[in-house]
Amino acid sequence: MPGVPGGAGVPGVGRPRRSAGIGSLGGIGLVLAGALSVQFGSAVAALLFPRAGALGVVALRVTIAAVLLLVVCRPRLRGHSRGDWAVAGCYGLALGGMNILFYQAIDRIPLGPAVTLEVLGPLLLSVAVARRAASLMWAGLAFAGVFLLGQGSLGALNWAGAGFAVGAGAMWAAYIVCGSRAGARFPRVDGLAVAMAVAALVSLPLGVASAGATLLEPEVLALGLGVALLSSGVPYTLELLALRRLPAGTFAVLMSLAPAIAALAGFLVLGQTLSAVQCVAIALVVGASAGAIRTGGADRD
């Protein structure tokens, strides 16, 4: 799952590039810490599935995150055009859809493969933005990795879970594009706060219909707060700080490590093991993502 708002995951879409400084090493640490927080937050969310279901957990995460963002950021709601609100609404729908589909995926397949399939969305967006022949090589390498992933364990990687993960990837790409446009129209992180509220309005009715009063149980609420902080609050803060210290290209390449970090979180928290073939498949997708991002960055130098 993405952690940072505004489309920083694809150079040329969203945040401006920054030159490396003295704090680069610290910035790398911040990015990795944020990525660990996101993926371990997803692992904790999976622990909640037996109690609240995937839709219930999404509702808790997004709603709590929306409340926190609205309270902390206090976005200015006046003075925006209809076009601004339309962009924020699309941003929120993409954010909500990405979370709903991704949590449906990790309810069915291991976390590492789910993130590997999800990252195809930003990868293909990066290839499209780059418009270079070399980008096709990275896309081919990524699809080779996905093919190996399916060959590694068809029993664990069922079609429904894989389809939800790919759908989440498409929503992730839309989230990047809409986040870029919202960032240009709203100050600070106001666009993200509004979008998160829209995502909460979409996901909360589904969660209530699925889990009902279970969402109000103290233990479930506490774990939901933990998921919201790990998957949203902590990584957003760390990654925004990192973007002040790192070039956007370096940041994006580090974010491409998400499938590997997700596999580690799935192993440590959920006891999910992967075959050697699946590990190679994840490595191929990580390498393809990093290569595509670097190619895209070079195309704009």
At residue 5, the pLDDT reads 41
Say if residues 139 and 192 touch (Cβ distance below 8 Å): no
pTM confidence score: 0.78
pLDDT for the residue numbered 4: 43
Q: Would you state the pLDDT for residue 83?
A: 87
- What's the mean per-residue pLDDT of the chain? 79
Per-residue model confidence (pLDDT) at position 34? 83
CB 60 within 8 A of CB 215: yes
The residue among 169, 130, 196 whose CA lies nearest residue 259 is: 169
**How much is the CA Rg of the chain, to the nearest whole Å?**
18
Beta bridge partners, 13, equal 10
CA dihedral over 57, 62, 65, 71, signed as positive or negative: negative
* Sign of torsion over alpha carbons 199, 202, 208, 211: negative
295: Cβ contacts below 8 Å, ≥ 6 apart: 130, 132, 134, 135, 138
Work out the pLDDT band at 247, boundaries 50, 70, 90.
Answer: low
- Cβ(121)–Cβ(173) below 8 Å: yes
Please determine, for residue 192, whether its predicted confidence score (pLDDT) is greater than 80. yes
Q: Per-residue pLDDT averaged across 185-207, rounded?
A: 89
For residue 124, the model assigns a pLDDT of: 75
pLDDT at 297 over 70: no
Question: pLDDT higher for 300 or 229?
Answer: 229
